[in-house]
């Protein structure tokens, strides 16, 4: 370990191994162990730049192993040349790795003497770095450590209180406790006692019922058309998509039928009216509603168009426009600088407009349904804008962009965390998978095989009430992190004054 290059390589591998904590592996103790080793190295090293390098190397391992599906999206389906796609992925991973690097740099600069405060600061700074990563430039919070604990870890019991970022803070603090416990196992048992107490508290919290069932369960059908991404937008395939989803809809007698996002690759104003009327009539016959994904053209706002879900059936027609768009996939940020990307990527409709953040749940199928489209369910602080009014959550996605990578399974786990945070069922209708019914405790009740054309039929229970996270969001954990950082800065200032 005296060889700095070997150390960086091993830390890189530790970051890659951390991916085992996330779906589809669900080995939730792994991030605690890899973080414990990383923080042990940082605690023994007093050089801020060297620790920043360790954080950067760990991040490169984590992201290069964990977001390889981005290459699939860019190259396999976006037609980006392989060398450019590889370079783009490396640049993205390097950018994401700057956040843990900066956190460990600042942690070392503060030179806190107390091990307890050092551990608390490490947790606060890591959590703040994740929050910043999930906020700056519209955010990319994928692989936030807290997701690794959904839904099986005892720490999942904290999700309805502190959300995913709060669990990240607890993971890193647990890692510091584990490190100090192993280092002082014979001399100081308090580290182990604190660690076990935290995890036991999470286990106990899982027994608390934050929300209450409302009404009878509703029958649902979640449709998976399995339309190949490289064929979906071809003109001769549109009729096939329409026929596939029409057949799946007509075969269902559920009160709530959900198609994936833009399941019919047409603008709403060019879809044959008879087609939509036929679907609406079927929904009325079963006394239910269909949610169908279309691109919506707004003629009152120039050339604006939206990624929209429309309701058809027994209830009055309603719609939801996607608010949080995917950079370089659904819109091009900083067009004067990155406008050339449109010429490289062959992605249809890559300049959507944003829907409003204040949209309310749809009143359909006897429920109040909060819809989020694809990437939107990565942002828990935005999902709660439709709560506690909503009784059900629905996520519609097209994870065909991820191919057969681990991306769809990671996306499923993110939805599991949203269910835990809000105390609501999450219904996922996707083009190729993972289509699933997730209960209010984040457990997958039913799913269907990926890359098959099928409908998932089941029931979903509506819930009312609000978890603490729904009421206050990320503010308490952000406030705690800022408070700990302030204490660390004050401690470092006092230490500096004494050395003068």
Q: Are residues 184 and 256 in the same domain?
A: no
335 assigned to active site: no
* pLDDT of 394: 98
Q: Are residues 393 and 492 in the same domain?
A: no
Q: Are residues 37 and 176 in the same domain?
A: yes
* pLDDT of 229: 77
* pLDDT of 81: 87
pLDDT above 70: residue 338: no
Backbone angles phi, psi at 213, to 5 degrees: -60, 145
Mean pLDDT, all residues of the chain? 92
A 10 A CB-CB count for 185 gives 11
- Reported as a single tens digit per residue, the pLDDT across 192-250 is 999 999 999 999 999 999 999 999 999 999 999 999 876 777 877 899 999 999 999 99
* pLDDT class of 342 with cuts at 50, 70, 90: low
* pLDDT of 348: 63
Please report where in the chains the tokens 């009740």 appear, as a residue: 445
* pLDDT of 345: 60
201 assigned to active site: no
* pLDDT class of 344 with cuts at 50, 70, 90: low
Q: Are residues 273 and 391 in the same domain?
A: yes
Q: Are residues 316 and 338 in the same domain?
A: yes
pLDDT above 80: residue 299: no
Q: Are residues 116 and 101 in the same domain?
A: yes
Please answer whether residues 353 and 303 qualify as being in contact, where contact means their C-beta atoms are separated by less than 8 angstroms.
Answer: no
Q: Are residues 202 and 273 in the same domain?
A: no
Q: Are residues 406 and 481 in the same domain?
A: no
* pLDDT class of 72 with cuts at 50, 70, 90: confident
- Reported as a single tens digit per residue, the pLDDT across 121-169 is 999 999 999 999 999 988 999 999 999 999 999 999 999 999 999 999 9
- Say how far apart CA 260 and CA 248 lie, in whole Å: 12
Query: How do 305-313 and 319-321 pair as beta strands?
Result: antiparallel
Q: Considering only CA atoms, which of 61, 148, 194 is closest in space to residue 414?
A: 148
Q: Are residues 374 and 327 in the same domain?
A: yes
- Say how far apart CA 150 and CA 393 lie, in whole Å: 17
Number of domains comprising the chain = 2
Q: What is the pTM of this model?
A: 0.94
Of the residues 130, 261, 296, 381, only one is catalytic, namely: 261
Q: Are residues 105 and 237 in the same domain?
A: no
- Reported as a single tens digit per residue, the pLDDT across 41-56 is 999 988 999 999 999 9
Domain with 36 in it: 4-209+473-499
* pLDDT class of 287 with cuts at 50, 70, 90: very high
* pLDDT of 246: 97
Query: How do 362-364 and 305-313 pair as beta strands?
Result: unpaired
CATH number at residue 375: 3.60.110.10
- Say how far apart CA 157 and CA 171 lie, in whole Å: 13
261 assigned to active site: yes
CA dihedral (164, 373, 329, 433) positive or negative? positive
Cα-Cα-Cα-Cα torsion 320, 326, 330, 336, nearest 10 degrees, comes to 130
* pLDDT of 336: 57
- Reported as a single tens digit per residue, the pLDDT across 450-489 is 999 999 999 999 999 999 999 999 999 999 999 999 998 8
* pLDDT of 341: 59
Angle of CA points 329, 332, 337, to nearest 5°: 140
Q: Are residues 364 and 479 in the same domain?
A: no
Q: Considering only CA atoms, which of 325, 420, 446 is closest in space to residue 374?
A: 325
CA dihedral (377, 382, 387, 389) positive or negative? negative
Six-digit token string for 242: 């329409």
Q: Are residues 136 and 31 in the same domain?
A: yes
Of the residues 374, 381, 421, 440, only one is catalytic, namely: 374
Of the residues 130, 232, 296, 322, only one is catalytic, namely: 322
* pLDDT of 76: 77
């Amino acid at each position: 370990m005296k060889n700095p290059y070997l150390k960086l390589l091993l830390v890189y591998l530790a970051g890659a191994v951390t991916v085992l904590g996330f779906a589809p592996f669900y080995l939730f103790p792994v991030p605690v162990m890899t973080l414990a080793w990383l923080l042990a190295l940082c605690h023994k090293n007093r050089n801020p730049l060297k620790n920043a390098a360790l954080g950067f190397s760990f991040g490169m391992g984590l992201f290069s192993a964990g977001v390889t599906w981005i290459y699939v999206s860019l190259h396999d389906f976006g037609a980006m040349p392989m060398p450019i796609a590889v370079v783009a992925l490396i640049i993205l991973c390097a950018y994401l790795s700057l956040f843990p690097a900066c956190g460990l740099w600042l942690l070392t600069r503060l030179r806190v003497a107390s091990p307890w405060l050092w551990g608390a600061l490490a947790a606060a700074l890591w959590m703040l770095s994740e929050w910043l990563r999930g906020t700056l430039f519209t955010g990319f919070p994928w692989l936030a450590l807290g997701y690794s604990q959904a839904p099986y870890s005892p720490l999942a019991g904290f999700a309805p209180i502190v959300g995913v970022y709060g669990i990240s803070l607890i993971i890193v603090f647990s890692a510091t406790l584990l490190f100090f416990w192993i280092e002082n196992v014979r001399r100081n048992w308090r580290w182990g006692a604190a660690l076990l107490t935290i995890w036991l508290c999470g286990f106990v919290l899982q027994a608390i019922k934050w929300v209450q069932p409302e009404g009878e369960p509703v029958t649902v059908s979640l449709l998976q058309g399995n339309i190949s991404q490289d064929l979906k937008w071809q003109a001769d395939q549109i009729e096939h998509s329409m026929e596939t989803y029409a057949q799946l809809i007509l075969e269902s007698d559920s009160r709530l039928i959900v198609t994936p996002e833009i399941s019919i690759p047409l603008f709403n104003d060019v879809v044959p009216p008879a087609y939509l009327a036929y679907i609406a009539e079927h929904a009325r016959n079963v006394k239910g509603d269909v949610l169908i994904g279309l691109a919506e053209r707004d003629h009152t706002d120039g050339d604006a168009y939206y990624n929209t879900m429309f309701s058809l059936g027994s209830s009055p027609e309603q719609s939801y426009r996607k608010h949080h768009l995917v950079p370089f996939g659904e819109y091009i940020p900083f067009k004067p600088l990155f406008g050339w990307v449109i010429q490289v990527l062959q992605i249809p409709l890559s300049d959507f407009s944003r829907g409003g953040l204040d949209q309310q749940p749809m009143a359909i199928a006897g429920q109040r349904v909060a819809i989020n489209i694809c990437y939107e369910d990565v942002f828990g602080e935005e999902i709660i804008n439709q709560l506690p009014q909503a009784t059900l959550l629905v996520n519609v996605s097209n994870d065909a962009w991820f191919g057969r990578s681990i991306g769809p399974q990671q996306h499923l786990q993110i939805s599991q965390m949203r269910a835990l945070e809000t105390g609501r069922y999450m219904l996922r209708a996707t083009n190729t998978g993972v289509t699933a019914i997730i209960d209010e405790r984040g457990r997958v009740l039913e799913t269907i095989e990926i890359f098959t054309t099928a409908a998932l039929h089941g029931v979903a229970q509506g819930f009312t009430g609000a978890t603490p996270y729904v009421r206050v969001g990320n503010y308490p954990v952000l406030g705690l992190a800022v408070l700990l950082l302030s204490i660390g800065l004050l401690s470092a200032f006092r230490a500096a004054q004494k050395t003068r």
